Structure 1
Amino acid sequence: MWDDLKNWQARRHAELAGPESWLGIRGLFWLEPGMNSVGSAAGSVVLLPGGPAHLGDLLWHDGRVIWQPVDGETRELQTDIAGQPTVVDFQNWSFFPVDRENRIAVRLRDRDWAQSQPFNGLDYFDFDPAWQIEADWQVLSPPIKMEVPNVSGELKVVEVSHQAVFEVAGQTVTLLPMSVSDKEVFFVFRDRTSGKETYGAGRFLKAVPTVNRKIRLNFNCAYNPPCAFTSFATCPLPPPENWLPFAVPAGEKKWVKPA
């Protein structure tokens, strides 16, 4: 299990140190219906830090995002609603559309970000097998509606049909999943380390699909959300139902930006 954890930590480091890291995000621009200018000119909806004053336009119309460059072919861009978004590259910059509850934003990334400030790595709590918890996976009938806030102050209503129930130091608690798929179950939680040893807005945790009405919660693999690394993320925050009343000294600690 220790080798698995080290491999997971190595993958996390590679993800955050690479050219597509959250640490390279340099802007988040919300589109308006109709035409949206892209360029370095003041007043551009998607404001580039350099390059042509007018690189092109993004047309958001009838649920579609169309890229119309000044030089080049017009093409439709896919958002991240169903997977990886379409990326437009320009010099060392990339931008791509993201869908947030039928609102469209464009994220801007500097692929050369690490040249000025390489990623300095993450700190972790020591591995503790006690935080590999086998929880009961209980059906909620009828399902409940859970309001999930995000860092932008918006609320998303999530339908929850199951809950993970487990015991820590004689205290029975529950965690409600944000999403459940054939590949993973996704949780957002906070605990008594939040804002102290760990990121204040909580942490993420993924688990494999359940077996025999049990789900394995390995808090040694709890990790920081994207908003711990950039102000241009739209992370979900842990709902009150997922505020654990004890400390979880396992997984990633708070990331400190180098001075």
Structure 2
Amino acid sequence: MLAALLLAGCGGSDKQDVADAAPHFDAAFLMNNDIWREQRKTELLAADGWTSLVGLHWLELKAHYIGSGSTSGIRLAVGPERMGMVSRDGERVWFTPEPGAALQVQGQPLTKRIAFHSDDDFEPTIISFDDGKGALSLIHRGPRYALRVKHADAPARVHFTRLDYWPADPSWRITARFVPHDAGKTLPIADITGLVRDQANAGAVEFERDGRTWRLEALGEPGRPLQLIFADRTSGRGSYAAGRYIDVGVPDAKSQVVVDFNRAYNPPCAFTPFATCPLPPPENRMDLPVEAGEKTYVKPDAGGHA
């Protein structure tokens, strides 16, 4: 009995030692990180979120008849069999609805030809169908235009599995130096389709990790929030092979920004083949394993299982 009590006492001491040795993270840090993860999932799974994409169709001709029917020049995966005609006149794009297609724009029935504004315009046109479950929009990439189709019943949304993360670690929430560039500087950024576009490049962020100084080019306009697109030693080995993104706030009066790698997230292309994701520039490929933030998304199989 005494031996048993002694063994039990030793076991309790060992457990306490392990507990004492475990890192004690700030409760607010963990709570805020959990909130961010929930918001990330909510946005991804919104009825018009990235997982709702069901089609990306490039406009190659001056006019295309579109719809889900077999006679459509551009055949959509969802929606009316005959939806309408998309036509292009120079840099202007028009949409003419098919009678009886039951389309809406801003909650109003679409019954006549309208200007089809792209995501480059101040107010992009969103054409809804299937009682609001579907949405047709126009994207502009370099010299090309494409139709983007979303639907609330998209397989990527309906069969979504889960988001996996490395354990939250405050050491990866880093205060970095912001190094501004000359006004108007841009950086060529290639996307997953092979198109290269010049993006505003307000500056770079520099930070220390593992005894070295690292530098990432930041995309965005001066005085506005920035985005980092980066790859690291975990890319393709735990994290998404084509890189990850981090949103960064406006630099403060001391030219400092917080770069929280715990909030590194996958681009839309990790979830759907119908996105045109920018890729990390050569300057942002780090020989550093960033074991923080979002891991590779495991897509479901044909049966909808991970």
- TM-score, structure 2 as length reference: 0.78
- Going from structure 1 to structure 2, the CA distance change for 1:145 and 1:241 (only over 3 Å counts) comes to same
Asked if 1:249 is matched to 2:277, the reply is no
Matched, 1:77 2:105: no
Q: Which moved more, 1:210-219 or 1:172-181?
A: 172-181
Contact between 1:46 and 1:106, CA under 8 Å: does it hold in 2? Answer: no
CA shift, 1:163, in A, is: 1.0
Residue 158 of structure 1 and its aligned partner are, at CA, apart by 3.0
Measured after TM superposition, the shift of residue 84 of structure 1 is 6.0
Kept in 1: contact 2:202–2:219 (CA 8 A): no
Shift of 1:121: 2.1
Q: Which residue of 2 aligns with 1:237?
A: 279
Count of residue pairs brought into register by the alignment:
259
**Which runs of structure 2 are paired with 1:105-116 in the superposition (5 Å)?**
105-113=146-154
Further displaced range: 19-28 or 152-161: 152-161
The change in CA–CA distance for 1:148 and 1:210 in structure 2 (over 3 A counts) is same
1:35 pairs with one of 63, 76, 86: 63
Q: 1:115 to 1:207 in 2, by over 3 A?
A: closer
Q: CA deviation at 1:113?
A: 2.5
Structure 1 residue 68: Cα displacement: 0.3
Q: What are the superposed Cα offsets for residues 26-54 of structure 1, whole Å, 9 maximum, x if unpaired?
A: 11111135222112344634312356543
**What secondary structure does 2:31 align onto?**
helix
- Mark the CA change 1:199 to 1:116 in structure 2 (over 3 Å): closer, same or farther: closer
| Separation (CA, whole Å) in 2 of partners of 1:18 and 1:158 | 28
Preserved contact between residue 35 and residue 58 of structure 1 (Cα < 8 Å): yes
Judge which range, 83-92 or 227-236, deviates more: 83-92
Aligned counterpart for 1:49 among listed residues 73, 77, 81: 77
1:223 pairs with 2:265 = yes
Kindly report which structure 2 residues correspond to 1:1-259, keeping only aligned pairs within 5 A, or say none.
1-32=29-60, 34-42=62-70, 44-49=72-77, 52-71=80-99, 72-82=111-121, 85-91=124-130, 92-113=133-154, 117-141=158-182, 145-180=186-221, 182-211=223-252, 212-259=254-301
Larger helix proportion, structure 1 or 2? Answer: 2
Letter aligned with residue 242 of structure 1: N
1:248 Cα deviation from its structure 2 partner: 0.6
Determine the C-alpha separation between the residues in 2 that align with 1:166 and 1:145. Answer: 22
Alpha-carbon distance in structure 2 between the residues aligned to 1:146 and 1:115:
32
Unpaired stretches in structure 1, ≥5 consecutive residues = none
CA distance in 2, matches of 1:86, 1:143: 29
CA–CA separation in structure 1 for the residues paired with 2:156 and 2:221: 38
How far has the Cα of 1:151 moved from its partner? 0.4
What is the CA–CA distance in structure 2 between the aligned matches of 1:32 and 1:197, rounded to whole Å? 38
Q: Give the gaps of 5 or more residues in structure 2.
A: 1-28, 100-110, 302-306
Q: Which residue type is aligned with residue 74 of structure 1? A: R
2:246/2:263 contact within 8 Å kept: yes
Q: Compute the RMSD of aligned alpha carbons.
A: 2.2
Displacement after TM superposition at 1:135 (Å)? 1.0
Moved more, 159-168 or 84-93: 84-93
Distance 2:191 2:157 in 1: 30
Distance (Å, rounded) in 1 between the aligned partners of 2:243 and 2:47: 25
Relative distance call for 1:210 and 1:44 in structure 2 (3 A) is same
User: What code does the residue aligned with 1:137 have?
Assistant: F
Going from structure 1 to structure 2, the CA distance change for 1:10 and 1:159 (only over 3 Å counts) comes to closer
| Superposed displacement of residue 238, structure 1 | 0.2
The percent identity for this pair of structures is: 32
Amino acid at match of 2:145: I
Cα gap change, 1:116 to 1:104, in 2 (>3 Å): closer
C-alpha contact 1:17 1:114 (8 A) present in aligned 2: no
- The structure in which a higher percent of residues are strand is 1
Amino acid at match of 2:33: L
